Chains A and B, each alone.
Chain A
């Protein structure tokens, strides 16, 4: 199956649930397991939440979510045009957060990396951030609990 989708939303926290459900519904075409769908939902939620909180720092900007299905391979990209990330290596460290005062756990990128097969981040300060994640459904190592 080959298919694609594109979704554009303002960076409101209400849209976090909307975005993850849309991508999960799109991915469902490839017949993933319930666990695989939950992995996708969680990873998309993390990326979109990062765009809302960090990318736009709770001001309103545009988030673009696109996804392609190539057979059982899902590739999903989340783009914001916000502040960008100065130090990517630091941002990706487990438990690191630039906003501890907001009760952020610093686990966003760790969850994306764990729940998807890959997670690539491109960011430029002042320009924005692009997160690209890939997951191929039906791989044995995805089904472990």
Chain B
């Protein structure tokens, strides 16, 4: 798994590339949490465009970050989900906590 970070306003954009499993979740978690500790970030946007596999370890990683930003009244957003990832999001109840957008632009403008 590869990850690229970008910051727009108070939103940390996490662009992921590759397979999001338990092995990758540990790597993502430590990288994201280091950023959350350091800077003035309220919200996280996960961009799944480059993700070609995700299992429940990915769900756990996202829920964990949701718990962290929620403490500061922040939000977690997601965009570019394939139908398969959408099914996993639905199955695990993530959609009640996280708003899903078609694109990064839609997510940032709240469209």
Asked if residues B56 and A111 are in contact (CB atoms below 8 Å), the reply is yes
Known pairs A35-B84, A46-B55, A49-B57; A105 contacts B21 (CB<8 A): no
Of A13-21, A66-74, A84-92, the one contacting chain B is: A13-21
Number of interface residues of B (CB under 8 A): 23
The residues of B that contact A45 with a CB separation of less than 8 Å are: 21-22, 53, 55
Known pairs A41-B53, A111-B55; A49 contacts B21 (CB<8 A): yes
Asked if residues A114 and B23 are in contact (CB atoms below 8 Å), the reply is no
Nearest CB of chain B from residue A143's CB, rounded to whole Å: 12
Known pairs A45-B21, A49-B21, A53-B22; A103 contacts B61 (CB<8 A): yes
Asked if residues B91 and A110 are in contact (CB atoms below 8 Å), the reply is yes
The residues of B that contact A16 with a CB separation of less than 8 Å are: 21-23
Contacting residue for A17 out of B19, B25, B64, CB 8 A:
B19
Known pairs A13-B26, A17-B21; A114 contacts B84 (CB<8 A): no
B59 at the interface (CB under 8 A from A): yes
Nearest CB of chain A from residue B88's CB, rounded to whole Å: 7
Which of chain A's residues has its CB closest to B59's CB?
A: A105
B50 at the interface (CB under 8 A from A): no
Asked if residues B21 and A103 are in contact (CB atoms below 8 Å), the reply is no
- In this complex, the interface size class of chain A, counting residues with CB under 8 Å from chain B, is 20 to 34
A38 at the interface (CB under 8 A from B): yes
A145 at the interface (CB under 8 A from B): yes
The residues of A that contact B60 with a CB separation of less than 8 Å are: 97, 102-107
B93 at the interface (CB under 8 A from A): yes
The residues of A that contact B21 with a CB separation of less than 8 Å are: 13, 16-17, 45, 49
A25 at the interface (CB under 8 A from B): no
B 1-48 contacts with A by CB, 8 A? 19, 21-23, 25-26, 29
Nearest CB of chain B from residue A93's CB, rounded to whole Å: 13
Which of chain A's residues has its CB closest to B93's CB?
A: A95
B95 at the interface (CB under 8 A from A): no
**Contact sample, A vs B, 9 pairs, CB 8 Å cutoff:** A38-B53, A49-B21, A49-B57, A103-B29, A104-B56, A104-B60, A106-B56, A107-B60, A145-B87
Given A103-B57, A105-B63, A111-B55, 18 other A-B residues pairs in contact with their CB atoms under 8 A: A13-B23, A13-B26, A16-B21, A16-B22, A17-B21, A38-B53, A42-B88, A45-B22, A45-B53, A45-B55, A49-B57, A52-B22, A94-B92, A104-B60, A105-B57, A105-B92, A111-B91, A145-B87
